[in-house]
Amino acid sequence: MACLDWSECPIVESIPGKVSGAWVLKGTRTPVQVLFENLQAGMSIEEVIEQFPVTHEQIDGLMNFVARSLDKPPAYG
């Protein structure tokens, strides 16, 4: 899978000096990578919401962005 361009995702931000510039959900210090790592490790979305300061709407927006990226044709180079 190609690398996602997170700058196109309206619910995330990367600010130099905030969490070392990692992509985080806007208004939080929660890195996108940490959310996906925990989901990959078997946590449910409900468990992620209990463990991190994120909302259902933020998780839904994140998943929708990832799902829409799968609609784009792959770029082979």
Query: What is the share, in percent, of the chain residues with pLDDT greater than 70?
Result: 91
pLDDT reading at 1 higher than 50: no
Q: So what's the pLDDT on residue 13?
A: 97
* pTM given for the model: 0.83
Rounded mean pLDDT of 14-29? 95
pLDDT of residue 38: 97
Q: Under the phi-then-psi rule, with left for phi > 0, alpha for psi from -120 to 50, and beta for the rest, what region is 21?
A: left
Ordered domains of the chain (ranges, CATH): 6-69 (1.10.10)
27: left (phi over 0), alpha (psi -120 to 50) or beta: left
Q: How far apart are the C-alpha atoms of 58 and 72, rounded to whole Å?
A: 22
Mean pLDDT of 30-52: 96
Residue 37 has pLDDT above 60, yes or no: yes
